Each structure stands twice: as C-alpha cells, then as structure tokens.
C-alpha cells in the first residue's frame, strides 16, 4: 500500500499551518524543543570531544605509544636483539630501552622519594618541573640520587648513590603527579641493578600511534609470545576509560533534554489529535484504515523530528565551529592546558544524536497515533 494519501494530508497539515494558528504554534513548540535538545547535545559533545582530543593529543605527543615488557619478572630477555628486530621491521619507529625504579632524590634544600627512569636516548640528567620545584633546583644544580640497592663496603652495606648535575628541566608527563628523574641508561642500570638489565623497550610512532602495538606483534612474529606488548590504550587505560565514561555520562545527562523534548512532542501531537478528532473521523469515514491514521501521525512526528533535529544539528555545528575558531570562551591561564574552550565536531556523534532524536520523535508520535487508530470513527463525529 502506498503512503500517498497519508503523506499528502500530513504535508497539507504542516505546510498549511498558516491557516490554523493553533496547530502552527504547537508544531513550532515541538520543533523548537527538539531543535534545542539536539543543539545542546551537539555543542556539549563537541566541547567534550575538543577537550578529550586535546588530552589524547597530549598523550601522543609526550608519552610512549607502545611498550615491550617481559612476560614474567622484570628483566627483558635479549633486549638488544629485540630492539634491532623492531628497528629493522619498523624503521620509522623510535625504540628506547628503559629501566625503572624508585630512589631518594635530594638537593641542598630537601630530599624526596621519586621514580627514576633510565633511558637509552638520554645523555644528561633530566628532572621534571614537579620535582625541580619540590627540590628547589634548576639546570646546572647538583642532585644526589640514592638507590634502595645496597653494596657492601668496609663500613658495612651502604645504599648505592650517584651525584649528578641537572642538564635540563622538562615538562611532566601527562597524568604524572610525582616528579621523575631521567638518567642515561647506563647510569640508571648501575644505580638500580648493578648490571646491564633492561626492563622495557618504549616505542613511539607519531605517524600511527594507536596501532603501533598491533604492528609490533606482526613485526616480532614468534618472539611476540615471549614478551608482553602494551599499546597506547593499555598504557593509559585508566585515563582513557575515564574519558570514555565521561562521554557516555554527559550524553545520557544532556540526552535527557531530548527525552523532555520528545515528551513535549508527544503532548503536542496528542493535542493535534484532539483538535483534529473530527477530521480524523471524516478521513476514517472516507476509507483511511486505522493503520493509515497511525502512519499519518507518525509522518507528522517524524517530519517535526527531521526538521527539528536537522536545524539543531546545523546550528550546533556552526556554533561549535565558530567558538572553536574564534576562541571566544577564554579559560583561566595556568589551570587548563588550552587558552580557550576547544570544540571538535565529531560527525559520528552528530549522526548518533540525530538518530536518537528521530527515534524519540517517532516514539512521541507513535503513542497518540495508536490512540487515534483505536477509536471508532463515529466517536469523533458524535459531538458536533
């Protein structure tokens, strides 16, 4: 059965709304409600995406993209061979051998426990800003790093310690709350192990950071089963999970606006159904089956849904893009990583919002439509 007659009447109801101000008003209110809901969701999700992609970009810029760890214990077997296999298979990837431990780091002013990392790509001693501030030191100052490892001396067992001049103060790693000392690999091995142990190989591939772990598995072949390979999502699981959770919760919270808009649409379509009670009875009299009356109201609801959500999505996208480019929403310096609120419109999010809005609009129209279809036509004609 064709939809011709239902579409024809629905179009006349919507296009001919100038002739009936009441229907026009309730239609516009429904449209505005749904449009504002979609607009708010698109803008909020774009803002969230802006912040989150900033955080993700920060992780990609500063942290390792993948890590090769021993499958068991702390010593990575044959680190040089594994590193050379990786370098041969993935020539664009930077591979750095590392050891990690915790030491007591002291300056003339203070002594604090801090993580120590030995890296094969570091020549000097690097202290991050957090630790430098706590110790009151800068480039050129000397620090002493005391290991938990002890060595037997004529005076008995004494902790292994080194004294070094700070060559650089670096920005902290994303998510790092305690300061870190970075040493050349050899010195750190001496301090922490007393032998050339490598605990992990960190890899970076700025061209394709999120799939590096997968490519490493392919590159290592049978060696991959003897080591553990952690990708970006595993290395930053906590932070990335929190970001994803935040996204879902915001979608649900702001999505409630859409539910309210759909309820408003339901009320308005029900009002139209009440007002058009006589017309519907006449249409039924002329041969509209209950199914066709249901379709007529679904078409009305979906038309409001399509126009409302399209207007909301376009307006939301435009506002998000304009706010992102102009940077009108400034943020306090020193608190946030970015100077103004960033917006990034994700087409998939916009599509999802529109689908949800349309589904809710269809549901909002379905209930009154069902009510209309259940009535005998004479009910609408009886009280003229």
User: Where along the sequence are the contacts to other proteins (CB under 8 A)?
Assistant: 1-2, 4-5, 8-9, 12-13, 16, 19-20, 278-279, 281-292, 373, 376-379, 381-382, 384
Shorter beta-carbon distance to other proteins: residue 13 or 251 = 13
Output the CA–CA distances (angstroms, integers) from residue 175 to 27, 172, 235, 240, 281, in the order listed.
49, 8, 11, 11, 66
Shorter beta-carbon distance to other proteins: residue 99 or 281 = 281
In whole angstroms, give the CA distance from residue 110 to residue 122.
25
Least distance CB 371 / other proteins (angstroms): 14
Least distance CB 375 / other proteins (angstroms): 10
In whole angstroms, give the CA distance from residue 204 to residue 231.
10
The answer to whether the CB of 307 falls within 8 A of the CB of 10 is no
Least distance CB 355 / other proteins (angstroms): 30
Shorter beta-carbon distance to other proteins: residue 204 or 276 = 276
Shorter beta-carbon distance to other proteins: residue 181 or 284 = 284
**What's the length of the chain?**
384
Least distance CB 382 / other proteins (angstroms): 8
Shorter beta-carbon distance to other proteins: residue 88 or 383 = 383
Shorter beta-carbon distance to other proteins: residue 9 or 46 = 9
Shorter beta-carbon distance to other proteins: residue 265 or 373 = 373
Least distance CB 288 / other proteins (angstroms): 6
In whole angstroms, give the CA distance from residue 255 to residue 292.
31
Least distance CB 7 / other proteins (angstroms): 10
From the list 381, 375, 368, the residue with the least C-alpha distance to 290 is 375
H/E/C letters for each residue in 73-108? Answer: CCCCCCHHHHHHHHHHHCCCCEEEEEEEEEEEEECC
Shorter beta-carbon distance to other proteins: residue 1 or 88 = 1
In whole angstroms, give the CA distance from residue 360 to residue 367.
11
In whole angstroms, give the CA distance from residue 26 to residue 264.
9
* Phi, psi of 74, rounded to the nearest 5 degrees: -115, -10
Least distance CB 287 / other proteins (angstroms): 2
Shorter beta-carbon distance to other proteins: residue 142 or 291 = 291
The answer to whether the CB of 157 falls within 8 A of the CB of 170 is no
Secondary structure E strands in the chain:
66-70, 94-106, 111-119, 125-128, 142-153, 156-170, 181-184, 200-204, 227-231
Least distance CB 376 / other proteins (angstroms): 5
Least distance CB 3 / other proteins (angstroms): 11
Secondary structure E strands in 59-199:
66-70, 94-106, 111-119, 125-128, 142-153, 156-170, 181-184
Cβ neighbors of 111 (< 8 A, separation 6 or more) are 104, 105
């Amino acid at each position: 059965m064709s939809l011709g007659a239902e579409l024809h009447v629905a179009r006349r109801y919507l296009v001919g709304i100038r002739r009936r101000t009441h229907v026009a008003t309730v239609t516009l209110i429904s449209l505005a409600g749904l449009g504002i809901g979609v607009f708010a969701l698109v803008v909020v999700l774009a803002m969230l995406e802006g912040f989150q992609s900033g955080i993700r970009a920060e992780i990609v810029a500063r942290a390792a993209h993948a890590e090769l760890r021993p499958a068991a214990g702390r010593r990575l077997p044959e680190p040089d061979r594994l590193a050379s296999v990786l370098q041969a298979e993935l020539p664009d990837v930077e591979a750095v051998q590392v050891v990690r431990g915790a030491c007591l780091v002291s300056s003339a002013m203070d002594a604090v426990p801090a993580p120590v990392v030995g890296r094969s790509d570091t020549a000097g001693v690097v202290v991050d800003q957090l630790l430098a501030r706590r110790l009151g030191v800068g480039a050129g100052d000397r620090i002493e790093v005391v290991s938990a490892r002890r060595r037997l001396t004529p005076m008995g067992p004494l902790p292994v310690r080194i004294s070094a001049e700070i060559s650089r103060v670096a920005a902290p790693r994303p998510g790092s709350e305690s300061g870190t000392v970075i040493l050349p690999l050899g010195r750190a091995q001496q301090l922490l192990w007393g032998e050339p142990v490598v605990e992990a190989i960190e890899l970076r591939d700025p061209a394709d950071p999120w799939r590096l772990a997968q490519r490493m598995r392919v590159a290592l072949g049978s060696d991959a089963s003897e080591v553990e390979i952690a990708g970006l999502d595993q290395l930053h699981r906590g932070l990335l999970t929190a970001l994803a959770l935040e996204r879902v919760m915001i979608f649900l919270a702001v999505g409630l606006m859409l539910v309210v808009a759909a309820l408003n649409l339901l009320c308005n379509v029900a009002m139209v159904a009440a007002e058009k009670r006589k017309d519907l009875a006449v249409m039924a009299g002329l041969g509209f089956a209950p199914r066709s009356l249901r379709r007529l109201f679904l078409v009305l609801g979906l038309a409001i849904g399509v126009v409302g959500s399209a207007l909301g999505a376009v307006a939301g996208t435009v506002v998000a893009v304009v706010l992102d480019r102009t940077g009108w929403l400034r943020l306090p310096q020193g608190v946030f990583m970015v100077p103004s609120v960033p917006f990034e419109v994700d087409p998939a999010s916009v599509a999802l919002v529109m689908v949800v809005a349309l589904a809710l609009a269809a549901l909002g129209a379905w209930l009154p439509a069902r009510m209309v279809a259940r009535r005998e036509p004479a009910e609408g004609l009886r009280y003229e």
